[in-house]
Amino acid sequence: MKKSFFSEDQWIECWTAPFLRRRTSGIRYALGHDCAVLHHSSSNQTDLVLKTDAVVEGVHFTRSTPPSLIGRKALARPLSDLAAAGAVPRAALVTVGCSNSIHARRLQKAYAGLALLAKKLNLHVVGGETVRTRQLLLSVSLLGAVAKGRSPGRSGGKPGHLLFVTGKLGGSWPRRHLTFNPRLAEGQWLVRHRFASAMLDLSDGLGADLPRMARASRVGFQIDPKRLPLAPKTTPRSAFTQGEDYELLFSVPPRQVALLRKKWPFSTPITEIGRLLPKAHGFDAGGLPMRGYDHFR
């Protein structure tokens, strides 16, 4: 395959290949997972969780998007990844790019929106960087913490484990991708009670993110499109492929499913959508196209 036709995941594999050859102690999860999870050498109780994410004008928002919602989304996106790690956010760094004073004034309002969400979570912005760019952008890096050895990552799924999602899928544009609530409490609860064997957040669509989990866990999967919990006016196909849902996808051992349903304490619904299979069975999405959002498509 010519490199000009590489997918986003294939390019990431090329870019990160030199780092994969290095073996470093103290790193529990790194490349290929939602967050990097590092053993904290000075603590026997917690692991450090690291994540960075960016929103760019023309990709994640438009010129007409209210600046306060741009800032909110810039922080909420990496928070959703921390939710998938079961982590508590501790501190943030913010890098911004703008080209002129008009962008600078929009950034001031974007910071206000970011600050509102940070205050709600008692999260401190402790530094950052400013750079001149053609497009308005915000990049947020987060530091979080999770109980030592508890974060499930993407690679813990086993054949026979059942697949669940939180919330509703699809219909994220034009508004919900700006106003969604990261499932932090839900992710922390799942990790604290050890229900999730593997977990990630659905940012690129179930059609892209579920295969990523399956490849990391070295398993296949089967889902039933009729079981997908759909947002209003959404089809199974669009819910599977569109992305920007920011819900949690997680696998659960069969013996724990009844207890999970009984003890689930949140108003956020959880829905069983399928199961993991031995790797030789491949990926079965019930006829839905196996794709989601790809920056290089």
169 and 279 share one domain = yes
Examine residue 181 and state whether it is found in any structural domain, yes or no.
yes
75 and 181 share one domain = no
84, 113, 147 - which closes a domain:
147
Examine residue 44 and state whether it is found in any structural domain, yes or no.
yes
Residue 231 sits in a domain of what CATH number? 3.90.650.10
Examine residue 81 and state whether it is found in any structural domain, yes or no.
yes
**Residue closest to 81 by CA, chosen among 199, 164, 197, 231:** 199
181 and 105 share one domain = no
pLDDT at 3 over 60: no
169 and 274 share one domain = yes
166 and 263 share one domain = yes
Look at residue 126 in the predicted model and tell me its pLDDT.
94
Beta-sheet pairing, 220-223 with 283-284? parallel
Beta-sheet pairing, 162-166 with 248-252? antiparallel
pLDDT in tens, 270-283: 999 999 999 999 99
For 41, the domain range is 25-147
pLDDT at 1 over 50: no
For residues 202-213, average pLDDT? 96
User: Of 64-68, 186-190, 291-295, which gets the smallest average pLDDT?
Assistant: 291-295
For residues 52-67, average pLDDT? 94
Q: 126-129 contacts: CB < 8 A, separation 24 or more?
A: 126/91, 126/92, 126/93, 127/93, 127/94, 128/93, 128/94, 128/95, 128/96, 129/93, 129/95, 129/96
Peptide bond between residue 254 and the one before it cis (omega within 30 degrees of 0): no
Examine residue 129 and state whether it is found in any structural domain, yes or no.
yes
Tokens of 204: 């690129």
pLDDT at 2 over 60: no
Alpha helices by DSSP H, the chain: 8-20, 67-84, 101-120, 176-179, 184-192, 206-217, 236-241, 257-263
- Give the number of other CB atoms < 10 A from CB of residue 285: 21
Residue-averaged pLDDT of the chain = 91
pLDDT in tens, 120-149: 999 999 999 999 999 999 999 999 999 999
Residue 106 sits in a domain of what CATH number? 3.30.1330.10
For residues 151-171, average pLDDT? 96
108 and 196 share one domain = no
103 and 29 share one domain = yes
Look at residue 58 in the predicted model and tell me its pLDDT.
92
147, 178, 200 - which closes a domain:
147
Beta pairing partners, 220:
277
Examine residue 208 and state whether it is found in any structural domain, yes or no.
yes
Look at residue 102 in the predicted model and tell me its pLDDT.
79
Per-residue confidence band for 72, with pLDDT thresholds at 50, 70 and 90: very high
166 and 279 share one domain = yes
Residue count (the chain): 297
For residues 92-114, average pLDDT? 92
Q: What is the DSSP string of 179-211?
A: H----HHHHHHHHHTT--SEEEE-SS-HHHHHH
**Residue closest to 244 by CA, chosen among 188, 144, 167, 153:** 167
- Give the number of other CB atoms < 10 A from CB of residue 222: 16
Q: How far apart are CA 232 and CA 229, in angstroms?
A: 10
User: Of 9-18, 38-47, 76-85, 114-123, which gets the smallest average pLDDT?
Assistant: 9-18
pLDDT in tens, 220-268: 999 999 999 999 999 999 999 999 999 999 999 999 999 999 999 999 9
Examine residue 47 and state whether it is found in any structural domain, yes or no.
yes
CA distances from 20 to 33, 49, 154, 185 (A): 13, 19, 17, 32
Look at residue 84 in the predicted model and tell me its pLDDT.
97
Examine residue 10 and state whether it is found in any structural domain, yes or no.
no
140 and 166 share one domain = no
* Residue owning tokens 């959880």: 270
Look at residue 296 in the predicted model and tell me its pLDDT.
59
Rg (C-alpha) for the chain, rounded Å, is 19
Examine residue 86 and state whether it is found in any structural domain, yes or no.
yes
122 and 194 share one domain = no
pLDDT in tens, 5-23: 677 667 657 756 666 656 6
102, 123, 147 - which closes a domain:
147
What proportion of the chain, given as a percentage, has pLDDT over 70?
A: 88
168 and 143 share one domain = no
Q: How far apart are CA 80 and CA 51, in angstroms?
A: 10
For residues 152-168, average pLDDT? 97
Per-residue confidence band for 100, with pLDDT thresholds at 50, 70 and 90: confident
Q: How far apart are CA 30 and CA 277, in angstroms?
A: 25
What is the number of structural domains in the chain? 2
168 and 217 share one domain = yes
The type of residue at 214 is A
Q: How far apart are CA 283 and CA 80, in angstroms?
A: 25
Look at residue 36 in the predicted model and tell me its pLDDT.
81
Tokens of 138: 């915000």
Per-residue confidence band for 104, with pLDDT thresholds at 50, 70 and 90: confident
